[in-house]
C-alpha cells in the first residue's frame, strides 16, 4: 500500500536505496517445483547492468544476485523467494554538491515534500537502481511463463527520433541499443553519443510484445489487462506514455478502420488485424499483446540548469557524473520484467496458472 | 481482486449489467460529515446520460440515482454509501441478432473465452453502462475534493482529427462535444454527424486537468501517482493510450528541453515549465496535473463487418441500433470520475485527507 | 480497507444501516456457470430472520432478497452478484429515547468517537441487521462449495451454561435453539425464557464443523487457515472468543497428549485423533475442521443500567423493545456464512477451485 | 496474498527458512523521521532468542539484525526498511531421520500436500524461526507507538496449569518464564523442567495488554479491531484460541453482568468495568485492550509417537534434538510484535498516525 509492492497473488516487494547496503526483492506466490538458479536471474540482471556498453553509464556494478530463501535443491518451494543484491560502486561524495539543491527533472523536491527528508546519496530510493530488484523478480516470472510458452520481448522502437523500420526479434540483443532493426542501430548510437558529448541526453520509445498469451486473461472492469499493464509500465520512472495496440493513433481512425474482423484460422478464432493489441474489453484475445512506452531523456545532464536550493534560494546546477545519456537500452529489461510479473499475476489470480499450490495434485497419490 | 473494485482506502465497487435490473456502486471510505445529496450525484450522471444531445445515442435513460445507505440527516456517516440506478430503457430483443455472433471490436469473444458464457443483452457487464456507476462514485469523490479546493476538469482536446486550439475551461460545458475551444466545437460536431450518416464512428483525445492538488501526493515506487492514474484511465474500455504532461513527445526531446527548471514564486517552490505534468518521481509537485487519453471510435457501427459465429462459422454483421457515433463527449465525466476517485484514494492512503475517521477529533471534547 | 469488504479473490462487500432503505452485498469472484436462484439465498436468510421462533425477537422482517446482477438465465456469469434486501419493519421512534444516551455494551460511544457522528436509529450500521447481507453472500459460497462436496454446519453447543451432550447433526434444525442434542434443547429454551422474563439476556457457545474440505488449504505464514477463520468469526459483533480443535484446553495438555498420530486409512494419510481441528501449520489436513466461538449475552436488556449521555452527563437507561434474549440461534447461520466465504476464498486464492475463470476451458473447443 | 505479508498500510513481509541463508522482513509504511537503530530491534530479538535461559532450547543463535535500507542518518526515510538476520547454528543433519517421516503435530504433512514438496531441514518455512522476522518488524512498530504513548505488554498468565495470581507488569522480565507473578514463576519453571525430563512438553496461556490506545480505533464491520487482532495472534503457529476481555466466559454471563456501565471520569467517558476488553462494536473505547491466547505444548517431543512415512508406511518416531519444552516464554515477544504491527496499521489506515507522509507538513515552510 505504501507502494513498494506490486501484484495480487504473485507479489513482488522491493527495498533498497542507491547508496545503501543493498537492493533486493521478495517474490511471493511463485509456484512450487520450478527450477530456479541464481544464473537464471543473473542473465537478466546483466542486461540491465550499468557499464554494459559504450552508450550506458561507465559506472560499474557487478550486480551479483544471491537467493536467500524459497529455493531448495534447485527448485522453488512455494515460499517467498528473497533476492539480494549488494551495492558496490557507491560514491556518495559525488552527490555532495546536490545535497542542498533540487535537481531539475529529479524527485529531490517531491521526496522532500512528501517525507520531510530524503536520502540524497545517489537519488536514494528514487534512483533507477531500484529497478535492479524488479529485473530480478521479473526473471522469476519469465522462468515460470516460459514453461507455458509465454515469451516477453522488448526493444528500442525509436531513439532520439530514429525509428526502427523493421522488427526482427533476433536482431535485438545483437546491438547495444537493442534495436530490432540492425540497420538503424548505428544511427541511434550516434545520436546518443552526440547528446553525451553535448552534456545532454535523449529519449525514445520502447515497444513490448507478449507472445503465446492464452485468450481469456484479464479482469474487467477495473483490472483490465491493459489497465494493469499500464500501471506496471507507468511505474517505471522514465516512462511518460503508455499505448496498447494502435495506441494514440486510434483517435484519428474510423470504427470501420479500427475494429479487427474475426476470422477462423487453424480451427481457432483469430482477428485478421490486431489494432486492439491483443486485448478486447480488457481480456486477452490470444493474439500478440503489443504495448509501447515513451521514455524521457535522462534527467541528469551536465548542461547548466536553473534551480532552487533546499532553503528556497535561486541557484544553478550542473549534474556531472557517470550518467546514461539515454536510458532506453537499459530500461528494456525493466519493462519486460514488469510485463512478466503482471502476466504471471493475472494468470494466478484467475487460477489459469495452476497456482502456487500446484503441488497439491502431484502428491495426492500417497 | 476479480476487478470490480478500485482504490485502496477510498474503494469503489461497481455491479450491474446493461440489461439487468440495475447498475450501482458501493463507495467505501468516504469521510464522515460530508454534505451529500442525490442532487450532487445526479448532476454528474446527467453529464454522462445517453440522449443528452444530438451527437449522442438517442437511447434515453433518466439514470435516476438513489442513495441506499451511508448518508444520515444529509451528511455522510463514514459507512459505505450504496448508490443505485435502475435500468429502464433496455430493449434486449435488439440484441437477438448478435446473440450467436462476436461483434468486432467488442468484448463478446473474450468474455466467452474467459467465463465460458456471457450475458449478450446490450453487452452485459462489458457495456459502457457500467460507467454510470463510476460517475456516481466519482461525484462523491469530487464533493470531498472540492472541500480541499481540488478540481478535476476534462475536455475534448481532439475529435476526429479536429484539435482545440485554445483551452478555455469555461467553454467546455457550453458546447455538446465539450470542446475547450468554442470555435472548433462546430467542426467536431460536423465530423461526428458525417460519421453517423456513413454508418461509421470516430474517436478523439480527452485531456484532463487536476487543479489545486497539494505537493507530496503519490507512493513510489509501484504506486506512483502517474501509475495509478494510468490504471484508472486505462480501465475505461475505449481508452487506448495514456500520457502525462508532454507525454509521447518526450521521446524526441533532449534532457535540456524536457527538465522543468525550479523557481521560487510567491515564496513557494514552483517549476517554470510543466513538461512533467505536475508529477516528479511519481509524486505531485503542486503544479497542475495534466493527463491525456486517446479514445477509440465506437465499436458499434452499421457498416458491414466480417466476423465469426459463436460456433465458429464465418459470418457478416451490421450492428444497427442506437449507438454513439463518438463516445468522447460522454467519456469525459467518466474519466473525471476515475481521476477524482484516484486522487481521493491517494490522499486518504497518505493520511493527507484527515481520513474517514476525521470525526475523531471533533468529538474529543465531550 | 475501511472494513466493509472481506476476502481476497472471493470478495464480499456489504452496505446498509438498520433503519435505512436497504441492506445488501456485492459478491465478487463467484465462478461462472453456477446455478443460483433467489430461493437458494432466501432459505439461508430465513434461518437468520427475526421473528422465526418464540426465543427470538418478535420483530418481523420478511427479508426478501432480490438478485440485481451477475446471474443470467439462472446461472452466474462470473460478474459481481448484487444482492438487495429492502428494510421494512423499521420503527425509528422507538430509538428516540437513546438518541442522547450511550447504551452499555453497544457501539454508540465508539461510533461517536470514531466518526464524530452516528446514525442512532436501530444502531445504524452497528446493528446485527448488517449480518443479513453476510448470510446472503454466504449462501452463494455454500452453493459453490456444495458442488465440491464441502459442507458447513453450525450449532448451539451451549446456551446459558446448558451444554449439548451429544452431537447429532440431523437434530439441529429440528429445535428452535439449533441444539445438536434434542434432549437439551428444552432446557436451553427454558433458560432463554427465564432471562427474557427477567429483562435480561444470556450467551452461549457456537460450534462449527467443515466437512469435506480437501487437504492443502491455507496460506502460511500470516494467512493460515485458522487465522483467516478467526478473522472471519471474530468479525461477528457478539463473538468474544475463537478456538480451533481442542482450543483453549491445549494450555493444560502435554505434547504427548495433544499431537495427533498419523495413520494410513483407506490408502489416505489421516490422523487418529483430531485435537488440531483439521489444521496443521495453518494448512488443512483433510480431517473435519472444528471451530468454536463464545457468544456474549445480548447487549439490549430492559434492566436499569448506568450510563452517560452524549453530552457527558451521568444517566440511567432501560433498553426496552423487541430484542433477542439470546442471539445464539440466529448467529449460527451468520457464522456458517463467514466460514463458507472464507473457505471459498482460500480455494480460489490457491487456484484449487478452478476459479471464476473456469469457463475458459469449456469454451476452448469452438 | 500468498500469506507472507500482514497489514494494509503498515505492511510487513517476511521470508526465510529455518536452515536457509537468512530470515528477514521488509517493513513498509513506517513513518519518516523516526529514530531507529539496530539496537532498538536487537533488544526485542534478544527476548525471543533461543538459548536465553534454562527453560528454552539450548540451541544458540546470536540473531544479529542488520538494517539494509530505509534508515538514513539514524532516522527512517519513509521507504521500506529491510531487516536481515543471517542463520547461523543450523545443523540440517539432525533432521535427516525425519526427512521421510511426517512428525506428528508438525506441518510436514500439510506442506507436502499443499506444495508437493518441502524443505525438511529444521521445518523449513514452518519453523518458529520465521517469527524472528516478526519480532524485528514489531520492534519498528513498538518504537513508533511509543512516541504516541502506546505500550504493549505480554506475559505468561498460565504455564502447565499454574496460573499467575497477581499481574505485576514490573515482574515479567525478572523471571525466565515471563510470569507477571514472581511467586508462581518458580512453580512454572519446575513444571517445564519436569516435562523436559520426561521427553514431553507443556503449554500455557499468554495474556496481552495494550495501554494508551486512543478511542476510535478499528474498522467495522469486517476489520473490527478484535477481528484483525485475532487474525494477527492466530497467525502464530502454536496459538489455538483467542479471547478478548472476559473472553470465553461471556457464554455463561447474563447481559446485566457483562455490559460495562459508562461513567464520566476526569472529564472523559470511561467504562466502570472492562469486560469488553477495551473494544466495543469493533472499535477501541480507550480502556486497556486485553487479549488472551492459549499456547499448545511444543510439537517436538522425544517420546515415541506413531506416524507414517512420506511413502505411506506406518512408522514410529522420536523427535530428539534441542527443542523448547515450553514455547510460552519465547512466544510472548512474538505476540507483542503482532499486536504492535496491528495497532500501528490500524492507526495509519484511519489517518490517526499522521501517516508515513507526516514529513509533508514539516517541510511546508520552505
Mean per-residue pLDDT for B39-59? 92
Least confident stretch, B191-195, B270-274, C113-117: C113-117
Give me the residue from A227, A255, A301 closest to B256, CB to CB: A301
Q: Which tens digit of pLDDT belongs to each residue from D52-84?
A: 998 988 887 889 999 999 999 999 999 999 999
C-beta separation of B20 from C84 below 8 A: no
pLDDT band at residue D361, thresholds of 50, 70 and 90?
A: very low
Per-residue model confidence (pLDDT) at position A354? 63
Reply yes or no on whether the pLDDT at D364 is more than 50.
no
> Which stretches in chain A have pLDDT values below 50?
355-366
Instruction: Output the pLDDT for position D354.
Output: 63
Cα–Cα distance for residue pair D195/D249, rounded to 1 Å? 29
Q: What grid cell was written down for C96?
A: 428516540
Return the H-helix or E-strand segment holding B25: strand B22-28
pLDDT single digits (tens) D294-312: 999 999 999 999 999 999 9
Nearest CA in chain A to C265: A366
For residue A16, the chain B residue with the least C-alpha distance is B221
- Give dist(CA A181, CA A159) in Å, integer: 12
* Three-class secondary structure of residue B102 per DSSP: coil
Q: Smallest Cβ distance to C351: which of A220, A355, A366?
A: A355
- From the list D8, D357, D366, the residue facing B216 with the nearest CB is D357
Distant-in-sequence, close-in-space partners of B85: CB < 8 Å, separation ≥ 6 = B16, B22, B23, B24, B45, B63, B64, B65, B66, B132, B133, B136
The label of the residue with cell 467443515 reads C210
**How far lies D19's CA from each of A25, C89, C199, D86, D89, in Å?**
20, 62, 61, 10, 9
Separation in Å, CA B16 to CA B93, B130, B234, C32? 19, 7, 20, 15
Chain C residues with CB-CB distance to B33 below 8 A = 115-117
pLDDT score, position B357: 38
Alpha carbons C111 and B78: distance in angstroms, whole number: 10
Average pLDDT, chain B: 93
C-alpha cell at B352: 493527507
Task: Check: CB of residue B32 under 8 Å from CB of residue B77.
Answer: yes
- For the entire predicted model, the pTM comes to 0.96
- Measured in angstroms, the CA of C277 and the nearest CA of chain A are apart by 20
Max Cα–Cα distance, chain B, nearest Å: 74
Name the DSSP class of A353. Answer: S
Helix intervals (H) in A221-356 = 225-234, 255-258, 328-349
Chain CA centroid to CA D9, Å: 19
Tally of structural domains, chain D: 1
For residue C354, what pLDDT is reported?
Answer: 63
CB atoms within 10 A of CB B44: 25
pLDDT recorded at residue A314? 96
Residue D81's SS3 state is strand
Best CA proximity match to C160, nearest among C137, C135, C142, C179: C179
Give the span between the Cα atoms of C41 and C48, in whole angstroms.
Answer: 11
pLDDT in tens, B224-248: 999 999 999 999 999 999 999 999 9
Neighbours of chain C (3+ CB pairs under 8 A): A, B, D
Q: How many CA atoms within 13 Å lie on the side-chain side of C60?
A: 2
Taking the C-alpha atoms of residue B227 and residue B213, their distance in angstroms, rounded to an integer, is 16
Decide which of C245 and D365 is more confident: C245
> CB distance D352–B350 less than 8 Å?
no
Mutate to test the interface with C, among A351, A353, A364, A366 (most CBs of C within 10 A): A351
What is the dihedral angle through the alpha carbons of B159, B165, B171, B177, rounded to the nearest 10 degrees? Answer: -10
With contact defined as beta carbons under 8 Å apart, do B90 and C37 qualify? no
Which partners does chain A have (≥3 C-beta pairs < 8 Å)? Answer: B, C, D
What is d(CA C30, CA C25) in angstroms, rounded to the nearest whole number?
A: 13
- Cα dihedral D271, D274, D277, D282, rounded to 10, equals -30
- Contact residues, chain C, for D138 at CB < 8 Å: none
- CATH number at C160 reads 3.60.150.10
Distance CA A205, CA D6 (A): 38
Residue-level pLDDT, tens digit, chain C, 366 residues: 789 999 999 999 999 999 999 999 999 999 999 999 999 999 999 999 988 998 888 887 889 999 999 999 999 999 999 999 999 877 788 888 889 999 999 999 999 999 999 999 989 999 999 999 999 999 999 999 999 999 999 999 999 999 999 999 999 999 999 999 999 999 999 999 999 999 999 999 999 999 999 999 999 999 999 999 999 999 999 999 999 999 999 999 999 999 999 999 999 999 999 999 999 999 999 999 999 999 999 999 999 999 999 999 999 999 987 789 999 999 999 999 999 999 999 999 988 876 433 433 333 333
| pLDDT for B172 beyond 50 | yes
Separation in Å, CA B190 to CA B49, B125, B328, C81, C282: 21, 32, 14, 42, 65
> 3-state class of B217 per DSSP?
coil
**Domain coverage including residue C54:** 5-365
In B133-230, where do the E strands start and end?
151-159, 162-163, 204-211
CB contacts, 8 Å: A312 with chain B? 264, 267, 269
Q: Minimal Cα distance from B15: which residue of A? A: A221
Q: Which residues pair with C28 in a beta bridge?
A: C11
- C-chain residues near B115 (CB < 8 A): 32-33, 77-79, 356-357, 359-360
Of the candidates B85, B70, B73, B84, the residue with the CA atom closest to the CA atom of residue B30: B70
**Which of D5, D77, D124 is facing A115, going by the closest CB pair?**
D77
Please count the residues of chain D: 366
Please state, rounded to an integer, the average pLDDT across all residues of chain A: 93
Radius of gyration, alpha carbons of chain D: 21
Number of helical H runs and strand E runs in chain A: 8, 18
pLDDT at D93 over 90: no
Determine how many CB atoms are found less than 10 A away from the CB of residue A249. Answer: 16
| pLDDT for position D363 | 36
ipTM: 0.96
Q: Which residue from D286, D285, D262, D279 is spatially nearest to C104, judged by alpha carbons?
A: D262
Residue, of B37 and A1, whose pLDDT is higher? B37
Report pLDDT for B61.
82
What is the three-class DSSP state of C199? coil
Extended beta strands in C283-347, E state: 283-284, 289-295, 305-308, 314-317
Beta-ladder partners of A263: A270
Q: Are B313 and B39 in contact (CB under 8 A)?
A: no
What radius of gyration do chain B's Cα atoms show?
Answer: 21
Tens digits of per-residue pLDDT, C235-292?
999 999 999 999 999 999 999 999 999 999 999 999 999 999 999 999 999 999 999 9
Burial class of B167 by CB neighbour count within 10 A (0 to 12, 13 to 18, 19+)? middle
CB contact under 8 A, B72 and C24: no
pLDDT band at B354 (very low <50, low <70, confident <90, very high): low
Lowest mean pLDDT among B210-219, B343-352, D50-59: D50-59
User: Has residue B362 got a pLDDT over 80?
Assistant: no
Q: What are the chain D neighbours of A124 within 8 Å (beta carbons)?
A: 72, 77, 79
| Residue of chain D nearest B355, judged by CA positions | D351
Residue with cell 469530487: B142
Select the residue of C224, C230, C259 nearest D104 (Cβ to Cβ).
Answer: C259
Q: Do C4 and D259 touch (CB under 8 A)?
A: no
CB contact under 8 A, C356 and A366: no
CB D250, CB D258: distance < 8 Å: yes
Q: Nearest to residue D29, comparing CAs of D44, D45, D7, D14?
A: D7
- Residues 6 or more apart whose CB falls under 8 angstroms from that of D318 comprise D199, D302, D303, D304, D305
Contacts of D132 (CB under 8 A, 6+ apart): D23, D45, D48, D63, D85
The neighbours of chain D, by the rule of 3 or more Cβ pairs under 8 Å, are A, B, C
Q: Note whether B76 and A246 are within 8 A (CB).
A: no
Distant-in-sequence, close-in-space partners of A294: CB < 8 Å, separation ≥ 6: A203, A204, A205, A239, A240, A241, B243, B247, B248, B249, B250, B251
* Interchain pair B255, A125: CB under 8 A: no
- Chains touching chain B at 3 or more Cβ pairs under 8 angstroms? A, C, D
Sheet holding A65-67, edge to edge: A5-6, A11-15, A22-28, A81-86, A65-67
Over residues B283-297, the mean pLDDT reads 98
Amino acid at each position: 500500500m505504501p507502494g513498494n509492492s506490486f501484484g495480487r497473488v504473485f507479489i513482488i516487494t522491493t527495498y533498497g536505496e542507491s547508496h545503501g547496503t543493498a537492493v533486493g526483492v521478495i517474490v511471493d506466490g511463485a509456484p512450487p517445483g520450478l527450477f530456479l538458479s541464481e544464473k537464471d536471474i543473473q542473465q537478466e540482471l546483466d542486461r540491465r547492468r550499468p557499464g554494459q556498453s559504450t552508450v550506458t553509464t561507465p559506472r560499474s556494478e557487478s550486480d551479483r544476485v544471491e537467493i536467500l530463501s524459497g529455493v531448495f535443491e534447485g527448485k522453488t518451494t512455494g515460499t517467498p523467494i528473497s533476492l539480494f543484491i549488494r551495492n558496490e560502486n557507491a560514491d556518495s561524495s559525488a552527490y555532495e554538491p546536490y545535497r542542498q539543491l533540487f535537481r531539475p527533472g529529479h524527485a529531490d523536491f517531491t521526496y522532500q515534500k512528501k517525507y520531510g527528508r530524503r536520502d540524497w546519496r545517489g537519488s536514494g530510493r528514487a534512483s533507477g537502481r531500484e529497478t535492479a530488484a524488479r529485473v530480478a523478480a521479473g526473471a522469476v516470472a519469465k522462468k515460470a511463463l516460459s514453461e507455458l510458452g509465454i515469451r516477453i520481448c522488448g526493444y528500442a522502437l525509436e531513439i532520439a527520433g530514429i525509428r526502427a523500420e523493421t522488427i526482427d526479434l533476433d536482431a535485438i540483443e545483437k546491438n547495444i541499443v537493442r534495436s530490432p532493426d540492425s540497420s538503424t542501430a548505428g544511427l541511434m548510437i550516434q545520436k546518443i553519443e552526440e547528446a553525451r558529448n553535448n552534456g545532454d541526453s535523449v529519449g525514445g520509445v520502447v515497444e513490448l510484445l507478449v507472445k503465446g498469451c492464452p485468450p481469456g486473461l484479464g479482469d474487467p472492469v477495473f483490472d483490465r489487462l491493459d489497465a494493469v499493464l499500464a500501471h506496471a509500465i507507468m511505474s517505471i520512472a522514465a516512462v511518460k506514455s503508455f499505448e496498447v495496440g494502435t495506441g494514440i493513433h486510434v483517435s484519428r481512425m474510423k470504427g470501420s478502420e479500427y475494429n479487427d474482423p474475426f476470422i477462423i484460422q487453424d480451427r481457432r478464432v483469430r482477428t485478421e488485424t490486431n489494432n486492439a493489441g491483443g486485448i478486447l474489453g480488457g481480456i486477452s484475445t490470444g493474439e500478440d499483446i503489443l504495448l509501447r512506452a515513451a521514455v524521457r531523456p535522462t534527467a541528469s545532464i551536465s548542461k547548466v540548469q536553473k534551480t532552487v536550493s533546499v532553503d528556497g534560494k535561486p541557484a544553478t546546477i550542473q549534474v556531472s557524473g557517470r550518467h546514461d545519456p539515454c536510458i532506453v537500452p537499459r530500461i528494456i529489461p525493466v519493462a519486460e520484467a514488469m510485463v512478466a510479473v503482471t502476466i504471471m499475476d493475472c494468470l494466478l489470480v484467475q487460477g489459469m496458472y495452476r497456482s502456487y499450490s500446484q503441488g497439491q495434485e502431484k502428491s495426492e497419490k500417497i
